[in-house]
């Protein structure tokens, strides 16, 4: 068996803009064939992390590695193994799809002209159409077609479905999934379409103010995050410490009219049975959570943080 370096690895990566820290001591690893969804609000540090992985931005501390090699120092040698779709595809408006392809192709020995043309055809993009005359969805598809044409081992996608309608979004996911099935492509994706990525990603990272709060397999997250509802008006943070073996770790909590809603991130059925055995907790109920609900609970949007 040959040892293969992970397509993406960061080691205590820190990026600053003046006094503002965009990424703070981030260490993560993405294995071959994995789809890693990097989530967080605007300004959480997602794009900075991507630009650093692409070797466009130098880390202030720590390092970023693609396939085991430093992305800043080895940028030109690495880029033929990487495909990138930026958040705002900025293509020269006067250039046609064909001209763009002719411009990009010489940089990549593995450029697949047939596959590229096939993608254009599926997206109803005429090869001679100027990019300024394309719809937003078509520009997104063109950007993805350009990124996939050299059969990259690693795809970095910065919100590829932003501003796209349902049909264009479906094309993006279809192409992405097809490519993953054909070539076991590794994917790092940031997105606002949490529901869309929920069933595709296998690993989730959640960034807030430059810190990586969560870095876990999605299966595990869905198994251990729960919304608990119980009657009463007090959070167990106020309970006596002797009760603590029966308690969960809280991600967020909020007070309803006559009940509490608490999101926990270490749920097990056995623990929940003990929790319900406590005085006044017989009526407690637990609900599974969507990735979107987990994201909101973890980043503290729309909800008060537990003390």
Partner 1 sequence: MYPDIQVDSRDVTPLWKQIEESIRRLISSGALLPGAPVPSVRDLARELRINPATVARAYQRLMEARLLIARRGEGTYVSVSPPVMEKSERLRLVRETAQRYAIAAASAGSTEKEMLTEAAAAWRRLGSAERGEKK
Q: Which one, 199 or 240, has the nearer CB to partner 1?
A: 199
279 near partner 1 (CB under 8 A)? no
182 near partner 1 (CB under 8 A)? yes
Pair 227, 256: CB distance under 8 Å: no
The secondary structure element, H or E, covering residue 115 is helix 113-122
Choices 18-26, 94-102, 133-141, 180-188; region in contact with partner 1 by CB under 8 A: 180-188
33 near partner 1 (CB under 8 A)? yes
**16 CB-near residues (< 8 Å, 6+ apart):** 22, 60
Residue 216: CB minimum distance to partner 1, A:
14
178 near partner 1 (CB under 8 A)? yes
Give the three-state DSSP class for 232. Answer: coil
Name the E strands within the chain. 8-17, 20-30, 35-39, 61-66, 69-70, 82-85, 154-158, 186-190, 203-208, 211-217, 226-231, 250-255, 259-264, 285-287
Q: Which of 95, 180, 213, 306 binds partner 1 (CB under 8 A)?
A: 180
Residue 239 structure tokens: 């309970």
295 near partner 1 (CB under 8 A)? no
Give the three-state DSSP class for 90. Answer: coil
Count of residues engaged in binding partner 1, rule: CB under 8 A: 28
Q: Which of 14, 21, 173, 209 binds partner 1 (CB under 8 A)?
A: 173
Residue numbers at the binding site for partner 1 (CB under 8 A): 33, 35, 173-174, 177-178, 180-182, 195-196, 198-202, 219, 222-223, 269, 272, 283, 285-288, 290-291
């Amino acid at each position: 068996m040959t040892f293969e370096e992970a397509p993406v690895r960061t080691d205590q990566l820190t990026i600053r803009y003046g006094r503002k820290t965009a990424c703070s001591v981030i260490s993560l690893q993405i294995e071959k064939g994995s789809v890693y969804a990097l989530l967080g609000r605007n300004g959480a540090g997602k794009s900075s992390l991507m630009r650093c992985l692409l070797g466009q931005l130098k880390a202030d501390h720590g390092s970023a590695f693609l396939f085991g090699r430093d992305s800043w120092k080895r940028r030109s040698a690495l880029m033929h193994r990487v495909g990138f779709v930026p958040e705002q595809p900025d293509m020269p408006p006067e250039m046609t799809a064909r001209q763009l392809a002719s411009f990009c192709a010489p940089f990549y020995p593995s450029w697949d002209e047939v596959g590229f043309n096939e993608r254009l055809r599926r997206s109803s993009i005429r090869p001679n159409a100027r990019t300024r005359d394309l719809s937003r969805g078509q520009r997104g598809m063109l950007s993805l077609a350009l990124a996939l044409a050299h059969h990259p081992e690693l795809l970095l996608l910065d919100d590829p479905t932003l501003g796209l309608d349902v049909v264009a979004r479906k094309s993006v996911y279809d192409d992405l999934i097809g490519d993953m099935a054909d070539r076991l492509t590794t994917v790092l994706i940031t997105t606002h379409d949490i529901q869309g990525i929920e069933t595709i990603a296998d690993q989730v990272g959640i960034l807030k103010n430059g810190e990586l709060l969560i870095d876990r397999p999605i299966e595990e997250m869905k198994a251990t995050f729960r919304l608990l509802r119980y009657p009463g008006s007090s959070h167990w943070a106020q309970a006596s410490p002797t009760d603590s073996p029966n308690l969960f770790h809280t991600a967020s909590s909020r007070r309803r009219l006559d009940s509490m809603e608490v999101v926990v991130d270490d749920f097990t059925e056995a623990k929940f049975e003990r929790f319900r055995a406590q005085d006044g907790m017989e009526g407690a109920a637990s609900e599974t959570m969507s990735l979107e609900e987990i994201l909101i609970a973890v980043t503290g949007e729309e909800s008060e943080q537990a003390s």
